[in-house]
């Protein structure tokens, strides 16, 4: 290469390095950005107790679109105000104490700091070789959850992005463990109830099993799977030459919080050689309470289970855990290698997340779970979960006092209820309940979602946020009382 060509190239490299420099802000610029961002976080947190749980907005965040991606940078303070106004404000606020809709979220501050460090260090947690400490941390968390569920030392698992992906990992493992091939799919039978989360059927379809037979097993008056109906269904399917394969129970159904009778289902699954999966995305971490342990008895006999730390452990969205009783089966479904991976030698006895899930490169999700558990210890988690169970019972009794018709006593922390007028208004019950839920959402201080149970429009109160306390439940009751008063 000639000297002039080389000089030109070096000059070009210097220019490019300078132009790329804003990607790596120096200490002063970092401090400025951090101060702005932390100030926004503080503005949010200092108002959180009075932050409406749902914010109806005209623009629905469309102001974000006023700032298209372009060559030019935008001032940080201005961007943060756009973010606060257009992104953080509109819609639901799962971190708010009055958020009692769907399954509430959390957003532990400790986790946010863990995410910050995970992002700054960009620690790679996919393979032991590249992030030995990170992988040990994740394995330790998975082992802790496996212990909570009563799984043997043979178990393994994965911290996925949420319950849906965790369910998908469990279902593909169940598929491969039973050596199902495409020829078997139309004969393979899955047993669940109408209360099963839709992510299970979605996972079946994504796993290629859209042709599998799905049996909606009858439920009892408490929305729990009827084991006699399960046995009958399996017997009938065997008689018809089908292959009973997977039983998916709910440990905390999303709509009602109902926990299927896991012990009795485990017995049927063992007798029938079916894979027994427990969807404990919502209810799993109630295992930290005495009541939860009673309710979920039998989960220790399942083949796989999912528990969402972003629900019952109050983590920010983005953490769902799958555990599988036999690590070999989980690994057999997910383990692959490539030539470019040859340096990533396998350490005897240490499993790597990349071998146990479809992901290779992933967020270092362990840190946001480890940090709060370490900084706070387990005690406050147990207390918060026990508080939610008690709040649900409290709400159940009080809402009944107000004259609402309630569903069954809560298994966990979800209460279903509806206004059931007699006389000429009876035919308008669905419409009245919809109006009540809409009015609450429009007010926004309390947000409860609705569902259809037994064909009837039903309101549900889900207590799971760590900021939700007695005062918020009392506010919910007061607003409901006002709604009822307005009816007459
Ligand atoms: C939330 C939930 C899921 C889905 O989990 P995501 O984290 O939302 O993907 C699955 N099953 C149950 C019972 C749930 O409550």
Q: Is residue 296 located within the same domain as residue 362?
A: yes
Cβ-contact 132, 345 below 8 angstroms: no
Evaluated on CA atoms 183, 184, 187, 191, the torsion sign reads negative
Q: Is residue 254 located within the same domain as residue 356?
A: yes
Q: Is residue 273 located within the same domain as residue 218?
A: yes
Q: Is residue 187 located within the same domain as residue 238?
A: yes
Q: Is residue 199 located within the same domain as residue 209?
A: yes
Rounded Cα distance, 264 and 217, in Å = 14
213: in domain: yes
Pocket test for ligand 1, best of 105, 164, 223 (most atoms within 8 A of CB): 164
Cβ-contact 149, 292 below 8 angstroms: no
Q: What number does the ligand 1 atom closest to the CA of 280 have?
A: 13
What's the predicted TM-score (pTM) here? 0.97
Q: Is residue 181 located within the same domain as residue 206?
A: yes
Cβ-contact 149, 307 below 8 angstroms: yes
Per-residue model confidence (pLDDT) at position 345? 64
Q: Going by CA atoms, what residue is nearest to atom 5 of ligand 1?
A: 163
Q: Is residue 322 located within the same domain as residue 458?
A: no
Q: Going by CA atoms, what residue is nearest to atom 4 of ligand 1?
A: 163
Q: Is residue 349 located within the same domain as residue 413?
A: no
Query: Where is the domain boundary, 309, 342, 377?
Result: 377
Domain that includes residue 344, residue range: 116-377
Rounded Cα distance, 101 and 462, in Å = 6
71: in domain: no
CB atoms within 10 A of CB 25: 13
Query: Where is the domain boundary, 355, 377, 399?
Result: 377
Average pLDDT per run of 10 along the chain, which is 488 residues long? 92 98 97 98 95 92 95 96 96 96 96 98 95 97 98 97 98 98 97 98 97 98 98 98 98 97 98 98 98 98 98 98 97 84 71 94 97 98 98 98 97 98 92 96 96 97 98 98 91
5: in domain: no
Alpha-helix residue ranges (DSSP H) falling in 226-342: 227-239, 262-272, 290-295, 309-312, 327-334
**Any idea of the CA torsion for 318, 203, 192, 237, to the nearest 10 degrees?**
-160
Q: Does residue 107 have its Cβ closer than 6 Å to ligand 1?
A: no
Kindly state the tokens that stand for 297.
């008895």
Quote the ligand 1 centre to 307 CA distance (angstroms). Answer: 9
Q: Is residue 357 located within the same domain as residue 405?
A: no
SS3 237: helix
Q: Does residue 465 have its Cβ closer than 6 Å to ligand 1?
A: no
Q: Does residue 197 have its Cβ closer than 6 Å to ligand 1?
A: yes
372: in domain: yes
In sequence order, the β-bridge partners of residue 451 are: 458
Q: Is residue 265 located within the same domain as residue 335?
A: yes
Q: Going by CA atoms, what residue is nearest to atom 6 of ligand 1?
A: 163
Quote the ligand 1 centre to 18 CA distance (angstroms). Answer: 46
SS3 459: strand
Mark residue 82 as left, alpha or beta (left: phi above 0; alpha: psi -120 to 50; beta: remaining). alpha
Rounded Cα distance, 334 and 179, in Å = 14
- 145: CATH: 3.40.640.10
Query: Where is the domain boundary, 340, 357, 377?
Result: 377
Q: Is residue 349 located within the same domain as residue 456?
A: no
| 362: Cβ contacts below 8 Å, ≥ 6 apart | 125, 126, 353, 354
Per-residue model confidence (pLDDT) at position 324? 98
Rounded Cα distance, 144 and 150, in Å = 10
Q: Does residue 163 have its Cβ closer than 6 Å to ligand 1?
A: yes
65: in domain: no
Kindly state the tokens that stand for 161.
């992005």
**How many separate domains does the chain show?**
2
């Amino acid at each position: 290469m000639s000297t002039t060509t080389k000089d030109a190239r070096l000059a070009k490299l210097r220019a490019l390095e300078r132009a790329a420099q804003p990607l790596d802000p120096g200490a002063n610029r970092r401090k400025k950005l951090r101060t702005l961002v932390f100030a926004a976080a503080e503005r949010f947190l200092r108002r959180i107790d009075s932050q409406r749980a749902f914010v109806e907005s005209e623009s629905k965040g469309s102001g974000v679109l006023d700032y298209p991606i372009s060559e030019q940078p935008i001032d940080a303070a201005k961007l943060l105000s756009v973010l606060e106004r257009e992104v953080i404000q509109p819609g639901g606020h799962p971190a708010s104490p009055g958020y009692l809709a769907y399954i509430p979220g959390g957003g532990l501050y400790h986790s946010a700091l863990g995410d910050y460090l995970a992002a700054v260090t960009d620690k790679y947690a996919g393979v032991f070789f590249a992030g030995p400490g990170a992988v040990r941390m994740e394995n330790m968390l998975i082992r802790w959850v496996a212990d909570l569920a009563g799984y043997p030392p043979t178990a393994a698992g994965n911290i996925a992005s949420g319950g849906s992906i965790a369910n998908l990992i469990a279902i593909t493992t169940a598929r491969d463990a039973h050596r199902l091939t495409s020829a078997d799919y139309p004969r393979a039978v899955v047993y669940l109830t109408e209360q099963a989360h839709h992510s299970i059927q979605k996972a079946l379809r994504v796993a290629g099993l859209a042709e599998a037979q799905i049996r909606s097993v009858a439920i009892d008056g408490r929305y729990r799977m009827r084991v006699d109906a399960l046995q009958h269904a399996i017997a009938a399917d065997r008689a018809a030459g089908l292959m009973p394969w997977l039983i998916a129970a709910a440990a905390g159904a999303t709509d009602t919080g109902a926990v299927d009778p896991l012990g009795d289902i485990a017995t049927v699954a063992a007798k029938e050689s079916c894979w027994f999966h427990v969807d404990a995305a919502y209810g799993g971490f109630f295992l930290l309470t005495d009541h939860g342990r009673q309710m979920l008895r039998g989960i220790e006999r399942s083949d796989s289970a999912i528990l969402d730390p972003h629900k019952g452990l109050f983590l920010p969205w983005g953490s769902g855990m799958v555990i599988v009783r036999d690590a070999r089966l989980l690994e057999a479904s997910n383990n692959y290698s490539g030539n470019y991976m040859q340096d990533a030698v396998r350490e005897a006895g240490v499993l790597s997340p990349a071998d146990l899930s479809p992901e290779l490169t992933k967020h270092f999700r362990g840190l946001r779970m480890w940090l709060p558990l370490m900084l706070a210890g387990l005690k406050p988690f147990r207390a918060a979960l026990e508080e939610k169970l008690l709040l649900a019972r409290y709400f159940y009794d009080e809402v009944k006092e107000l004259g609402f018709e309630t569903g069954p006593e809560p298994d966990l922390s979800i209460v279903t209820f509806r206004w059931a007028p007699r006389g000429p208004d009876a035919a308008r019950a669905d419409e009245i309940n919809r109006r009540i839920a809409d009015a609450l959402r429009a007010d926004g201080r309390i947000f409860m979602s609705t569902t259809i149970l037994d064909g009837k429009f039903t309101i549900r109160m889900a207590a799971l946020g760590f900021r939700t306390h007695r005062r918020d439940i009392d506010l919910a009751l007061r607003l409901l009382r006002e709604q009822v008063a307005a009816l007459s």
